[in-house]
Amino acid sequence: MTLEKTILARWNRRSGCDSDEERRLLARALARKRSRVAFPDDFTRLVAGLRDRIVEKHSKRSSEGEVLRSLREIRVRAAPSWQAPEVEIQFLFIPDDEHQKSVERPDWPHLLDAWLSLVPPQGRFVTVDGFVASLDDLTARDYAESDILDLDHLS
Mean of the per-residue pLDDT values for the chain?
88
> pLDDT of 132-154, one tens digit each?
999 999 999 999 999 998 765 55
Classify domain 37-153 at the CATH topology level: Alpha-Beta Plaits (3.30.70)
Long-range contacts at 114-117 (CB < 8 A, ≥ 24 apart):
115/50, 115/53, 115/54, 115/91, 116/91
Q: Compute, in degrees rounded to 10, the torsion defined by CA atoms 63, 97, 144, 79.
A: -30
Is residue 32 scored above 60 in pLDDT?
yes
> pLDDT of 93-104, one tens digit each?
999 877 556 667
Q: Can you give the residue ranges of every domain in the chain?
A: 37-153
